[in-house]
Amino acid sequence: MKDRAVKMMKSMLLLLILLAVVSGRRTHLLKGLPATSTVEENSAAGVSVYTFNVTVSPLSSEGVAILPTIVNSNPLTEAFDIESIGDLEYRVVTTGNPVLDYETMPKSFDLLIFVEDTTGRTDLNTLTIQVTDKNERPVFQGNMAIQTVMIYVLEGTPPEHIYQVDAADPENAELKYSLLPAPVPFLVLESGAIFSTKEFDYEKDPHCYFLNITVTDPDGLSSTRTVNVNIININDERPYFTTKQRFYRIPEEQSPGTVVANITAKDPDDEDSPSRLFYSIQSSDRYFSINPSTGVLQVTGRIDRDALPLRLHPNISLIVRVEDSPSGGHASETEITIIIDDINDNPPECNPSTFRKEANENTTAGMFLLDLNYCKDIDVDSTNNQFNFTGLSGFGSNNFALESTVSGRLVMTESIDLENPANLGIEVYSLTVRVQDIACPNYSNMIYIYIRIKPVNEFFPVFSNLSYEFNVPEIIKVGSSIGRVNARDKDWPPSVITYSIVAGGGTRDYTNIFWISPTKGDVKILARLDYETTQKHILTVQASDQEKTTTASVTVNVLEVNDEEPVCSPNFYSLQIPVSLAVGTNINGFRIQCQDRDSDPRSFRYFINEGNMNNHFTFSPSAGSNTSQLILASRFDYETSLDKNWIYRLHVYITDDNLLPARDKITHLIKTGTVTLSIRVIPNPTTVITTTPGFTVVTKRENLYSESAWYVPFVITLGSLLLLGLLGYLGFLLAMWVNTRCPPAGKADGVSLINAPGMYLFSIFNTSQQDLVYDSV
């Protein structure tokens, strides 16, 4: 601006000078002017428009004082300037500022050129410059005029119109569009419309195209602008697996979390950036899971190769799916197979694992006893399920051996004799055998074996004596034990010996007099022995250990004992005697005669046990003979009422104990015979009292027996009779009372009465059975 103002000032100044000069002296210095020249529009700076000379007068050869100057222009412009080209020759050139434009600027400029030479002469002339039109290149309009246009095209879009180029020609001529480089999938139409010619694939095609659009006018002038076409990526591709491995091998029984496979995939849409993908297992699977974001396949469940279904099908197939969006994106699936390898994780199991076996003692060495191989190892792989039998142990295991470690057959190596002190008491051998995996880590189990050595009955029973002799009194009670036999054998464990009588146990009258306790060997008698019949029994007893028997003889000597009672006659007798019979008379000449099979005739003793009231009767001799007479001992006296009975019933006891020492009497080796005598006293037919002649009682004593003894039985007998009578009466009363008082169904109560005056005790026990027990005190 400032510059421009300065120029204007300068021009004004020049104009003023010019006016002054013109008003002064004016000569024709500018040769060739006025003139008209042309200049093409758009000429660059320095383009010569017109050339002229300054004519200097010969007087002033010094030259010009003021160079030719454009002092004014109509219209005003600075588009021209004057420059010297030497020898007073000048030309008008374009300044290029502004550039002349035919279409927008005035088409003619009048330049007023002033010059003054050194002599002071001036000249002012006009140069008319006509701007000539020149064909100009077309121009782009709109955005394309000011920038590189960016066009975005979605991949996968069908060919379409993507942009309209806007260009114009200054001359308004018809324009042509063209496009470079040639092999691009775009075309531009006459109208300037740009079309894509294909469907773009971001993943295959270039992502960016630079199209040079050239617009050309009919004269061939052209302009070119670049259009940048960018292909926009869209999610149109399915992800694919980059993991090529489809088969994996893992051992069974891996802990949860163990990584099996690292499945990776790629989404072509994501190009080089890491893909965000989602993994899943399609088939339902209880063994594995996949990390949805990393694709790492892990063990989640127990994988047991030895159990169904893996036992049969050790390959697990999984459909792995990968998606590029958690919902409704593109997905791919692949099948991977995991092969489960067996490991040795099971010990051999035996069923049964406990064995019981019996073997006879003295079984020959080397005999097969047991097959222990009921074992199985469920590990699938044959390298993992082999096992062997080892480690036979247990007390006494040296008697046994395993035939081989493979077979599991147990054999005996020693014959076991139970009677051998080394083996004594061992009947059952408890052994263990280990059944062990051959493969590491040698899992094992125990087998328990109980071998019972069955005793064999090898030895015969042996009686403690070769024969036995028992001395037995003949009166021994039935059921008594008379002796014992005993036998043993050497078998271990000790045999149970059973005894029996195999011969000689009976007599003509009894088939079995003897009995032997089968377990104890006690010999007992079942019937009475009678020395008088058999003095000696010879039995054969047998001892049996159930298989083997031995016999021994037992001699039973029957010892003589006073076991026979005196037998006297007459046994019963009735006598009548006159009341006046003289004392000392052998009544009616009666005598009893006794005999005893096992007693001396002199051992008898006679006494009247009962009925001898007032002791009227006695036997003489009272002892020492096998015969004795009945003697009247005292006279009867009915007058003074001393005697009242007219009938006597005498119980005479005859014992055979007379000669026995006192010691034996206690052992009851006394036998008593009885004789019953009935004596009726006949009263005198007349009342005449005859004088009784004096008499002498002759008592013949043949041994030292006390005479007074016979009173005692007499008194007891008499008293007993009286008591019996009373007892009977009371019993009758009681029976009546019981009948009237007791209910039919008895009660378990007890009643006891004491009848004080009669000194009798009646007890009723256990009336439920209506039993009455009478007890006399």
Ligand X SMILES: *[C@@H]1O[C@H](CO)[C@@H](O)[C@H](O)[C@H]1NC(C)=O
**Residues making contact with ligand X (CB under 6 A):** 259, 262, 264, 296, 388, 390, 405, 436, 438, 442, 593, 595, 601, 626
Half-sphere exposure of 579 (CA within 13 A, CB side): 18
Contact at 8 Å (CB) between 281 and 288?
A: yes
Q: How far is the CB of 602 from ligand X (least distance, A)?
A: 7
Nearer to ligand X, 106 or 601 (CB): 601
Sign of CA dihedral 35, 38, 39, 41: positive
Q: H or E segment at 410?
A: strand 409-412
Query: What span, in angstroms and rounded, lies between the C-alpha atoms of 561 and 656?
Result: 12
Phi and psi at 6, nearest 5°, equal -60, -45
Write the DSSP string, 546-589: SS-EEEEEEEEEEEP---PPPEEE-SEEEEEEETTPPTT-EEEE
Query: What span, in angstroms and rounded, lies between the C-alpha atoms of 363 and 455?
Result: 11
| Residues contacting residue 155 through CB under 8 Å, at least 6 positions apart | 199, 200, 201, 202, 203, 205, 231, 232, 233, 234, 236
Nearer to ligand X, 77 or 593 (CB): 593
Single out the residue of 334, 343, 383, 320 nearest to residue 255, CA to CA: 343
Can you tell me whether residue 380 is helix, strand or coil?
Answer: coil
Can you tell me whether residue 498 is helix, strand or coil?
Answer: strand
Q: How far is the CB of 346 from ligand X (least distance, A)?
A: 15
Q: How far is the CB of 298 from ligand X (least distance, A)?
A: 9
Contact at 8 Å (CB) between 237 and 267?
A: yes
Phi and psi at 602, nearest 5°, equal -90, 5
Contact at 8 Å (CB) between 506 and 513?
A: yes
Q: How far is the CB of 353 from ligand X (least distance, A)?
A: 18
Single out the residue of 216, 145, 144, 138 nearest to residue 176, CA to CA: 216
Sign of CA dihedral 504, 508, 509, 511: positive
Single out the residue of 234, 409, 380, 250 nearest to residue 315, CA to CA: 250
What is the distance between the terminal CA atoms of the chain, rounded to a whole angstrom?
Answer: 181
Q: H or E segment at 135?
A: none
Query: What span, in angstroms and rounded, lies between the C-alpha atoms of 773 and 533?
Result: 40
Q: How far is the CB of 242 from ligand X (least distance, A)?
A: 8
Nearer to ligand X, 128 or 674 (CB): 674
Nearer to ligand X, 143 or 390 (CB): 390
Q: Where are the alpha helices (DSSP H) in 23-142?
A: none
Q: How far is the CB of 664 from ligand X (least distance, A)?
A: 22
Nearer to ligand X, 233 or 599 (CB): 599
Nearer to ligand X, 247 or 395 (CB): 247
Residue nearest to ligand X (CB): 262
Nearer to ligand X, 34 or 601 (CB): 601
Query: What span, in angstroms and rounded, lies between the C-alpha atoms of 444 and 481?
Result: 64
Q: How far is the CB of 442 from ligand X (least distance, A)?
A: 5
Q: How far is the CB of 273 from ligand X (least distance, A)?
A: 15
Nearer to ligand X, 435 or 485 (CB): 435
Nearer to ligand X, 135 or 298 (CB): 298
Nearer to ligand X, 601 or 731 (CB): 601
Q: How far is CA 303 from the centre of its chain?
A: 19
Residue 747: is it exposed, middle or buried by C-beta count within 10 angstroms (0-12/13-18/19+)? exposed
Q: How far is the CB of 698 from ligand X (least distance, A)?
A: 21
Q: H or E segment at 676?
A: strand 672-682
Nearer to ligand X, 479 or 589 (CB): 589
Q: Where are the alpha helices (DSSP H) in 621-710?
A: 662-666
| Residues contacting residue 317 through CB under 8 Å, at least 6 positions apart | 283, 335, 336, 337, 338
Single out the residue of 697, 524, 538, 701 nearest to residue 625, CA to CA: 701
| Residues contacting residue 732 through CB under 8 Å, at least 6 positions apart | none
Q: Provide the token pair at 19.
A: 């006016």
Nearer to ligand X, 610 or 656 (CB): 656
Q: How far is the CB of 587 from ligand X (least distance, A)?
A: 20
Radius of gyration of the chain (CA): 84
Nearer to ligand X, 135 or 264 (CB): 264
Nearer to ligand X, 236 or 600 (CB): 600
Q: How far is the CB of 601 from ligand X (least distance, A)?
A: 4
Nearer to ligand X, 258 or 555 (CB): 258
Q: How far is the CB of 263 from ligand X (least distance, A)?
A: 8
Q: How far is the CB of 535 from ligand X (least distance, A)?
A: 23
Q: How far is the CB of 230 from ligand X (least distance, A)?
A: 31
Q: How far is the CB of 294 from ligand X (least distance, A)?
A: 6
Q: How far is CA 765 from the centre of its chain?
A: 68
Write the DSSP string, 615-634: G-EEEESSBSSSEEEEEE-S
Q: How far is the CB of 623 from ligand X (least distance, A)?
A: 14
Q: Give, as one character, the DSSP assignment of residue 26.
A: B
Q: How far is the CB of 278 from ligand X (least distance, A)?
A: 16
Nearer to ligand X, 176 or 266 (CB): 266
Single out the residue of 689, 701, 506 nearest to residue 605, CA to CA: 701
Nearer to ligand X, 148 or 262 (CB): 262
